[in-house]
Structure formats: structure tokens, C-alpha cells
Chain A
Amino acid sequence: ETGVTQSPTHLIKTRGQQVTLRCSSQSGHNTVSWYQQALGQGPQFIFQYYREEENGRGNFPPRFSGLQFPNYSSELNVNALELDDSALYLCASSLAGAGGPTEAFFGQGTRLTVV
């Protein structure tokens, strides 16, 4: 086990709704990244948070937003859900230090279905 936990594990939402996914980082890790994995594809980077600030973003629209809390846990929010947002959402935590970030350890993911 990686120590990274995500909730909920499954979720069904209607198009146009908003959703919040949660991630609890591995103890001691200060960096959280979120990835979207569509069926049959590799994970795609959404954004990364370091010490509560977004410090990197992939090619995702602004309706994808996030937060990182002082305890390094994180949320991913998606507004105005579209059918194409149906995917497995993965959270990864790592430790950023002087030598660069450590390996990313992933949670089990949240499977979001938009109908």
C-alpha cells in the first residue's frame, strides 16, 4: 500500500453538475498531482500542488480546479461536467526537496461516470 487514499471510489454524476474528489497524501509528502485516465489510455496530468499553491498545469480547462490543505491533503473540483469527463481520476503524492521530487505514489483512484 502506498498510503495515498482517495474518496469516493466510485461516483455517478449528471452532465452539468459539479463534483469534488478528495485525496489524502502519503505521510511526509508535500506535493500532490492529479491525473485523468480515460478508458484504455494512459494517465494525463491535470495539475500539481506544492505547499498549497498550484505550480504546474496540464492541458485542462479552468473548470478543473483544485486545492491543497495545510496537511497536504487535496481536492479536485470539476464544474459543468461533460460526458467526456468520465474517467478514472488518480491522485499522486511525492516529496519535493533540494534533490528534486521523489517517486510519485498513487492512490487507487476515483472512477467518475457522467451520464
Chain B
Amino acid sequence: AQKVTQAQTEISVVEKEDVTLDCVYETRDTTYYLFWYKQPPSGELVFLIRRNSFDEQNEISGRYSWNFQKSTSSFNFTITASQVVDSAVYFCALRLMNSGYSTLTFGKGTMLLVSP
């Protein structure tokens, strides 16, 4: 069975601070996808990124960056120069690559509060 752990329940920062959200995953499969989703108060899960298990290259998209380390089974997410609009719950998720399903296994989420 798969498992995703987000140990940080809630993080509070002041605007312009950098913040890293941790994600650790468990799976016996060697091929899988990892995801990050953002959930604002409206409830909709907004897709941020997908990485596959073959590609450990870090990725940067604007103020967002992701660090994937297979050796530690981690897929951490960093927001640089945080803004109030970044306030939301962030979920890390895993999906097996060889499964015919698109089933996602989610962590419990990290609530990020960015104050002005």
C-alpha cells in the first residue's frame, strides 16, 4: 500500500519569507508519479506539478520550486518570497504508474498561512 506523509500540519510565515513544505512517501513500486495540489478556501484542488519517478531533476516555476530525492523518498515544495495569496492547504499525492487507475493517494495536507 502507498502512503504519503506531510508532517507539517500548519505553517505560518510573514509575506516575503521563503517556506518549504515537506512530503515523504512510501511505495514498493519503482514507477510512480508525485503531485502537489493547492486547495484554497473555495475547496477546489488546483494542480501544481507532476513528477515521475524516473526524473529527479529539480524544477522551478516562478516562485515555486520542487526538490525530488528518491534516496530519501521526499518531494519537497518551496515557495520563495511568499505572498498572502499563497495561503491555502497544500497536498502532496502519489499515483502508481503501472496502475490502470488514476487513483491518487494524498497526504493530510499542510495549511500555509501567509500574513502581510
Contact = CB atoms under 8 A, between A and B. Distances in A.
Interface of A: 2, 31, 33, 35, 40-45, 48, 55-56, 58, 88, 90, 92, 94, 96, 100-109, 111
A76 to B, nearest CB: 16
Interface residues of B, number: 24
Contacts of B46: 2, 106
The majority secondary structure among interface residues of chain A is strand
B88 interface: no
The majority secondary structure among interface residues of chain B is loop
Interface of B: 4, 35, 37, 42-47, 50, 91, 93, 95, 97, 100-109
A55 B43 contact: no
Contacts of A31: 102
A111 B43 contact: yes
Contact of A101 (B4, B91, B102, B105): B102
Contacts of B35: 103
A33 B43 contact: no
